[in-house]
Amino acid sequence: MDSLGGTAALDVNVDGLRVQVARLEAAAGEFTGNSPAAGVVASWSASAAAVSAAHAQIAAASIRCTSRVQATATKLAAAATGYAENEDSSAGQFRTLYEPTVC
């Protein structure tokens, strides 16, 4: 555990972020595929109307959830790219600072 005012290293696994992006995108696809059955409502049945209303709420929640999962996947993909670019840039800067000397 770090003391107050201490520093902690941030170790980012870019490949792990990309795996998580793929999982989130797959989950978003599953949410999109869920929909209520067509023709469920019978005008004579209050129960059918309640079920239809519940299906509509579930569909709306699914849309919101899909949107959030896709947004998270997009943010993680951008973060993975940013971390990878930062690592490449840092490695290049170190190479220019410490070029090998041939004796």
pLDDT band, residue 80 (cuts 50/70/90): very high
Amino acid identity of 78? Answer: A
Query: Would the pLDDT of 4 be above 70?
Result: no
| pLDDT single digits (tens) 48-75 | 778 888 889 998 998 999 889 999 999 9
Residue 6 domain-assigned (yes or no): no
Residue 23 sits in which domain range? Answer: 15-34+43-75
Residue 85 domain-assigned (yes or no): no
Amino acid identity of 47? Answer: S
pLDDT at 42 (0 to 100): 47
Residue 68 domain-assigned (yes or no): yes
Those residues whose C-beta lies under 8 Å from the C-beta of residue 24, and which sit 6 or more positions away, are 69, 70, 72, 73, 76
Number of domains in the chain: 1
pLDDT at 48 (0 to 100): 76
pLDDT at 17 (0 to 100): 82
| pLDDT single digits (tens) 12-38 | 788 888 888 888 888 887 776 666 556
